[in-house]
Amino acid sequence: MQKPNILLIYTGGTIGMIKDADTGTLRAFDFDSILTRIPEIRLLDCNIETISFDEPIDSSNMNPKYWADIAQIIEVNYQTFDGFVVLHGSDTMSYSASALSFMLENLAKPVIFTGSQLPIGDLRTDAKENLITSIQMASLQKDGLPVIREVGLYFEYKLYRGNRTTKINAEHFEAFESFNYPNLAESGVHLNINKEYLLRVKSTDQLIVRTKMNTNVGILKLFPGISKALIETILNCKALEGLILETYGAGNATTEDWFVELLKNAISRGLHIINVSQCAGGSVNMGQYETSSKLKSIGVISGKDITTEAAIAKLMYLLGEKISHKEFKTVFETSLRGELT
């Protein structure tokens, strides 16, 4: 059996920083010398190559252009490598993992996002464990085929489906959670893979990379006392083509006539409005309460149990693919990459 070939793609972020012992300042880490910095990687049963963005970026500056860059690196190297590990800043990692899951159609190899809360050269860093185990996860094979065939996110002993994750903590090592879907794997003394939760895909289908993302979208979070003027201004934005509406609980919103009328008029003009819950866990269930029945009746699309991060990525993706207005609701409410139940 040949050793799996794994490509590390460094985009930027804390994991790629080292601290100068004398000055305490952080500087970018040269991933070509990764074996020198982390000699333990030599013990892994795989071949590793690295590629870095010309200019590593902070994840706060992440955008669809960089998503396309990552997707194209994977596309160019897809036949050469058995798995990919994307090193990325944690702040927008859930957005990027969600976006790449939609961009990489028919993906049949692992693409594992990871990062860290502390720089790789820090004494107490979480970077080494996250990186080493991500490579191990990407290397897993059975009968010559990858065990994981989807976009995942690995952080602090857990592998999640990427488009199910949310960053929940800016300080703890347990920075991410997947509230509406079980972990794909856990790392302890052994790597425990929850095979029943892995995405099942046909390995014979050719990878298709779709990088057209339409950014004429927005997110509107409801709150008690939100004004008519604010909502009217947002809905009347001429460039807006899709809106994520973060509602209360199971998809509930105010039943004020002016609110419903504004949404109804916007939908009739062609705006796609997606109902996503503000709650970290649970699902939108329009019609369960009177406060969501009106949203359902005027054509608001149910986000079901999708995360806001996956919803905005999916909205950009479907608008970029120019899905017809007639089909849009059906396609959005259908699970394409395991992003909703």
Task: Render pLDDT for 68-100 as a digit per residue (tens, 0 to 9).
Answer: 999 999 999 999 999 999 999 999 999 999 999
Given pLDDT bands bounded at 50, 70 and 90, which one contains residue 35?
Answer: low
Q: DSSP letter string over 119-142?
A: -TTSTT-SHHHHHHHHHHHHH-EE
Q: DSSP letter string over 68-110?
A: HHHHHHHHHTTTT-SEEEEE--STTHHHHHHHHHHHEET--S-
Q: Are residues 266 and 170 in the same domain?
A: no
Tell me how many domains the chain contains.
2
Question: In this structure, is residue 339 part of a structural domain?
Answer: no
Question: In this structure, is residue 41 part of a structural domain?
Answer: yes
The residue segments making up the domain with residue 226 are 217-332
Q: Are residues 118 and 255 in the same domain?
A: no
* pLDDT(20) > 80: no
Q: DSSP letter string over 215-251?
A: --EEEEE--TT--HHHHHHHHT-TT--EEEEEEBTTT
Q: In angstroms, rounded to a whole number, what is the distance separating the alpha carbons of residues 51 and 68?
A: 15
* pLDDT(31) > 80: no
Q: Are residues 78 and 27 in the same domain?
A: yes
Residue that terminates a domain, selected from 178, 209, 240: 209
Q: Are residues 233 and 164 in the same domain?
A: no
Q: Are residues 194 and 45 in the same domain?
A: yes
Q: Are residues 25 and 59 in the same domain?
A: yes
Q: Are residues 221 and 205 in the same domain?
A: no
Relative to beta strand 158-161, strand 151-155 is: antiparallel
Given pLDDT bands bounded at 50, 70 and 90, which one contains residue 33?
Answer: low
Q: Are residues 242 and 150 in the same domain?
A: no
Question: Dmax of the chain from CA atoms?
Answer: 67
Q: In angstroms, rounded to a whole number, what is the distance separating the alpha carbons of residues 262 and 239?
A: 17
* pLDDT(37) > 90: no
- The length of the chain, given as a count of residues: 341
Q: Are residues 227 and 125 in the same domain?
A: no
Q: How high is the pLDDT of residue 123?
A: 74
Residue partners of 173: CB distance under 8 A and separation at least 6: 117, 126, 155, 156
Residue 232 sits in a domain whose CATH number is 3.40.50.40
Assess whether 125 carries a catalytic annotation: no
Q: In angstroms, rounded to a whole number, what is the distance separating the alpha carbons of residues 133 and 156?
A: 9
Q: DSSP letter string over 205-221?
A: SPPEE-------EEEEE
Residue that terminates a domain, selected from 152, 185, 209: 209
Question: In this structure, is residue 277 part of a structural domain?
Answer: yes
Question: In this structure, is residue 230 part of a structural domain?
Answer: yes
Question: In this structure, is residue 87 part of a structural domain?
Answer: yes
Residue 108 sits in a domain whose CATH number is 3.40.50.1170
Q: Are residues 170 and 302 in the same domain?
A: no
Q: How high is the pLDDT of residue 32?
A: 67
Q: In angstroms, rounded to a whole number, what is the distance separating the alpha carbons of residues 209 and 68?
A: 9
Q: Are residues 56 and 97 in the same domain?
A: yes
Determine if the pTM surpasses 0.85: yes
Task: Render pLDDT for 163-217 as a digit per residue (tens, 0 to 9).
Answer: 999 999 988 888 899 999 999 999 988 889 999 999 988 777 899 999 999 999 9
Residue that terminates a domain, selected from 155, 184, 209: 209
Q: 225 — alpha (psi -120 to 50), left (phi > 0) or beta? A: left
Which residue in the list 14, 92, 133, 165 is annotated as catalytic?
Answer: 14
Task: Render pLDDT for 186-195 as a digit per residue (tens, 0 to 9).
Answer: 998 888 999 9
Q: Are residues 250 and 182 in the same domain?
A: no
Question: In this structure, is residue 265 part of a structural domain?
Answer: yes
Distances (CA, A) of 256 to 127, 184, 228, 300: 50, 42, 10, 16
Helix (H) / strand (E) containing 326: helix 325-332
* pLDDT(291) > 80: no
